[in-house]
Amino acid sequence: MPTDRVPTYDELARATPAGSSWDVFGRDDQLGTINFLTPERVAAAARLVRTGRRFGLDHPLTAFEPYPTGTRRPLEHTVFSNNEWHRDDWVDSFYLQSSSQIDALRHIGHPEHGFYNGLAAEQNSPASVELGVHNYAAAGIAGRGVLLDVPRFFALQGIDYDPASTVVISARMLDDIAESQSVSWHGGDMLLLRTAWAEQYLAKTPAQRLETPWRQSPGLAQREEVLRWLWDHEIALVAADNLAVEADPVIESDFRTPGEKPPEKGVDHSGMLHRPLIALLGMALGELWKLDDLAADCAADGVYDFLLTCKPLNLPGGVGSPPNAIAIK
């Protein structure tokens, strides 16, 4: 990072544009908050490995078919052979964000300020490779992961919890969950948020999935306090087991753009945390990660931090990628 001291979120209010990290990491930066993963922090995270237990955090590529939003077609996998003792294959209709995924910084822009570091919408063309996921692949993502288990926290408090409903997770709740798990923050941590949304969705039959309203999910609140919490804790990456990391649908938001109309096609991102989180802060975001087995192990041994690695596909200009993520305890 080009500065020895990271400004607080409130200090970013004086940035141009306000609330952006564009001058923290440099106007040519392609990594955003992945810059928080300094060599010293990665080395410290490696020392968290004690038992060698490993947890793959990717669901199968076909796990979420039919895709809840209806915007992505099923994957088609073809295996062929050139002779009796040979096998090869290819994939058609491979949407890189149709299952467990990490978003590249070119994924979501801000209607007033453009994409991360001011990349204009017309510059973020299909032919462009700016802010592509290959930047994450080249840098390598590794460091201290911390899991916050929302359903187990609610159970501990004796509060009913429905993973198929809109449960809004505030900054205060993040602190409360961390305290209940005896978790501290070191800076440069990668936050994994278990909501159990994926678990309940995958338990449904394909027919039941088609009948289920997809925009009902626990997740982070669309409030400035959440941005402040994530930035001031120097969170390098935040990933969850739901569709958007944030709560769905947007009920109350600090991020509405006055006069904005819903798009003619695709998901309406109005008021969503995605816009300031990715476009202004440059935060790495992961969705639909597989967290159930890791969460069960953390609950069993009381250890909620671990070495976390994530290796996206090295696809120049990719908008997203399977994370190929592993937690090692």
In this predicted structure, the answer to whether residue 3 has a pLDDT above a threshold of 50 is no
Question: Of residues 314 and 267, which shows the higher confidence score?
Answer: 314
In this predicted structure, the answer to whether residue 207 has a pLDDT above a threshold of 90 is no
pTM of the model: 0.95
Mean per-residue pLDDT, 139-143: 97
Q: 140 in a domain, yes or no? A: yes
Q: 179 in a domain, yes or no? A: yes
Q: 3 in a domain, yes or no? A: no
Look at residue 142 in the predicted model and tell me its pLDDT: 98
Per-residue pLDDT reduced to its tens digit, 243-256: 999 999 999 999 99
CB 59 within 8 A of CB 240: no
In the chain, what are the helix, strand and coil shares in percent, each to the nearest 5?
A: 25, 20, 55
Look at residue 2 in the predicted model and tell me its pLDDT: 44
In this predicted structure, the answer to whether residue 4 has a pLDDT above a threshold of 80 is no
Give the domain CATH number at 215: 3.50.30.50
Q: CA 242, CA 142: separation in Å to the nearest integer?
A: 22
Look at residue 36 in the predicted model and tell me its pLDDT: 98
At 66, the pLDDT band (50, 70, 90 cuts) reads: confident
Q: 282 in a domain, yes or no? A: yes
Residues 6 or more apart from 203 whose CB is under 8 A from it?
none
Residues 6 or more apart from 29 whose CB is under 8 A from it?
22, 35, 117, 282
In this predicted structure, the answer to whether residue 206 has a pLDDT above a threshold of 90 is no
In this predicted structure, the answer to whether residue 311 has a pLDDT above a threshold of 80 is yes
Look at residue 222 in the predicted model and tell me its pLDDT: 97
In this predicted structure, the answer to whether residue 267 has a pLDDT above a threshold of 90 is no
Q: Which pair of structure tokens corresponds to residue 19?
A: 């609330």
Degrees to nearest 5, angle at CA 322 with 318 and 324: 125
Mean pLDDT score of the chain, rounded to an integer?
95
Look at residue 62 in the predicted model and tell me its pLDDT: 95
Look at residue 103 in the predicted model and tell me its pLDDT: 98
Which is it for strands 101-103 and 320-321: parallel, antiparallel or unpaired?
Answer: antiparallel
Look at residue 298 in the predicted model and tell me its pLDDT: 98
In this predicted structure, the answer to whether residue 70 has a pLDDT above a threshold of 80 is no
Question: Of residues 69 and 320, which shows the higher confidence score?
Answer: 320
Q: 53 in a domain, yes or no? A: yes
Look at residue 236 in the predicted model and tell me its pLDDT: 98
Burial class, 89, CB count within 10 angstroms (exposed 0-12 / middle 13-18 / buried 19+): exposed
Q: DSSP labels for 125-137?
A: -TT--TT-THHHH
| Domain boundaries, position 204 | 11-328
Mean per-residue pLDDT, 105-133: 97
Q: What percent of the chain has pLDDT over 90?
A: 87
User: How many domains does the structure of the chain reveal?
Assistant: 1
Question: Of residues 94 and 4, which shows the higher confidence score?
Answer: 94
Among residues 273, 268, 264, the alpha carbon closest in space to that of 224 is found at 273
CB 29 within 8 A of CB 133: no
Question: Of residues 188 and 213, which shows the higher confidence score?
Answer: 188
Mean per-residue pLDDT, 38-66: 96
Q: Give counts: helices (H), strands (E), the chain.
A: 10, 13
In this predicted structure, the answer to whether residue 1 has a pLDDT above a threshold of 60 is no
Among residues 138, 133, 180, 132, the alpha carbon closest in space to that of 155 is found at 180
Q: What percent of the chain has pLDDT over 70?
A: 99
* HSE-CB of 47 using CA atoms within 13 angstroms: 5
Burial class, 232, CB count within 10 angstroms (exposed 0-12 / middle 13-18 / buried 19+): middle
Q: 4 in a domain, yes or no? A: no
Question: 3-class SS at 45?
Answer: helix
Q: 61 in a domain, yes or no? A: yes
DSSP 8-class letter at 155: H
Bridge partners of 88? 80
In this predicted structure, the answer to whether residue 24 has a pLDDT above a threshold of 80 is yes
Mean per-residue pLDDT, 272-296: 98
Q: 1 in a domain, yes or no? A: no
Q: Is 211 left (phi over 0), alpha (psi -120 to 50) or beta?
A: alpha
In this predicted structure, the answer to whether residue 172 has a pLDDT above a threshold of 70 is yes
Burial class, 145, CB count within 10 angstroms (exposed 0-12 / middle 13-18 / buried 19+): buried
